[in-house]
Structure 1
Amino acid sequence: MTNANHFQPVHDTRNLYRHLLDSMARPGKINDIAELFHHVPETCPCSAGSYALAHTLLDHQVRFHFYSQDLHAPDAERSIEWTTGSHHTTPVDADYLFIDTAPETDEIRAIMQNVRIGTLAEPEKSATIILHVRKLSGSDNLDVPMLLHGPGVNGWHLLSAEGMDAEWLRMRAVRNREYPTGCDFILFDDEGQIAALPRTTLIESGVI
């Protein structure tokens, strides 16, 4: 029997992984994982989303980069390393990049220019960016509207985000232009909602 007041390394990560698979298979679909966020310890030195996703995706075989402007960022890096067995590294060497607070536009460019996108022979050697935004919506009522097309999307799908710099989308289009190379995105917000933008998803928006 699980304890609902604590994040369960097996039960909760399996639950979250199922939601992630659904999000990747249905780009732009918003999944609600707020209940899992409530299990994250209040003393966690990073956002609940980064904590939960790190414990779901990381192990000793992969490396991660954690970006935050918070003073507790070094504590978050050490905590994730200690509890997942993964090791913190630079953006260019990371399998997963956790962007916990909003970077400046020039920092976004630097991250995206260095993120791994694989090669034509080995596209699987690409990275996934886990991006913390303020809010996600299935309509166009937020700052950054995205009209999604491609595999897993029936016609088109609308997703919008608040607290997401449009530079992420501009740089994503540049780095993902030569399929099958590219990087995948997982978005999560403060309310415990997640959505995915796989590299195969095309995005039309007035901001690009």
Structure 2
Amino acid sequence: MIFHSTQLAFREVLEALSFPGKINLVDECPYDMSPLISQTGLVCMTLLDSEVTFHVSDDNNEITKTLHAYTGSHTIEASKADFIILPLSSSMGVILNKLEQANIGDLVRPHKSATIIFEVESLQSGFKYDLKGPGIKGTNFLKCTVQPEILKKRNEINKEYPLGIDMIFIDLQGNVVGLPRTTQLTEVI
């Protein structure tokens, strides 16, 4: 059962990253992964394994223990983590700090950068951002509750391609949007 669920979740996340701004829906996790959003738990079970590391922004021991138990992945400091999980409860200061610490790779191994799994309230309302880049015909948009300061920090981090971070947003309804480092983002005022 879980294998089928993680396969479907992988396809949704892959499509979200391939077509930035496109909203995909991920099923609920068959296991209780609270305080994470259920779909965040399933995405973590899909992407984390014993070969990768993760960091939870709030240093939440409950989330860390749960993710380790279900995935076999190990926690590590943010600057070395393959995945950084930003739960919905994360404060603006903590989010900006973890983004600043995230591994952006290097010119020899840009693929060794961090992927940010970011819980948000909504991917259908809030601030509006224009998106341009690979996987987008012309211009697309993203409407979400992510504060502009956070996405400005993301743009700053990603300014020297191929270095940078990729982001996966998951909202309370289980919607998923991918924002790869190649996507150019500007706030619509």
Decide: shared fold, TM above 0.5.
yes
Q: Which residue of 2 aligns with 1:5?
A: none
2:41 aligned with 1:51:
yes
The aligned counterpart of 2:51 is 61
1:26 maps to amino acid: F
Gap change, CA 1:189 and 1:43, over 3 Å in 2: closer
Counterparts of 2:38 and 2:142, CA distance in 1:
22
**Partners of 2:123 and 2:36 in 1: CA distance:** 19
Whether the 8 Å CA contact 1:133–1:188 is kept in 2: the answer is yes
Which structure would you say has the larger Rg? 1
* Structure 2 residue 141 is matched with structure 1 residue 158: yes
CA distance in 1, matches of 2:170, 2:187: 20
Q: Which residue of 1 aligns with 2:84?
A: 97
For 1:28, the equivalent position in structure 2 comes to 21
User: What RMSD in Å do the two structures reach over aligned CA positions?
Assistant: 1.7
The CA deviation at 1:42 is 4.3
Q: Which amino acid aligns with 2:51?
A: Q
- Using the size of structure 1 for normalisation, the TM-score is 0.85
Q: Write the distance in 1 (CA, Å) between the matches of 2:78 and 2:49.
A: 17
Cα 1:77–1:43 shift into 2, 3 Å: closer
1:76 aligns with 2:63: yes
After TM superposition, the score normalised by the length of structure 2 is 0.93
Q: 1:206 deviation in Å? A: 4.0
Per-residue Cα deviation, 1:53-92 (whole angstroms, up to 9, x for no partner)? 11000011100011348xxx31221111011110011111
Mark the runs of 5 or more structure 2 residues left unpaired by the alignment: none
Q: How far apart, in 1, do the equivalents of 2:172 and 2:144 lie?
A: 11
Asked whether 1:109 is paired with 2:78, we answer no
**Aligned residue number for residue 181 of structure 1:** 163
Give the aligned partner of residue 199 of structure 1. 181
Residue identity (%): 31
Q: Where do 5+ consecutive residues of structure 1 fail to align? A: 3-7
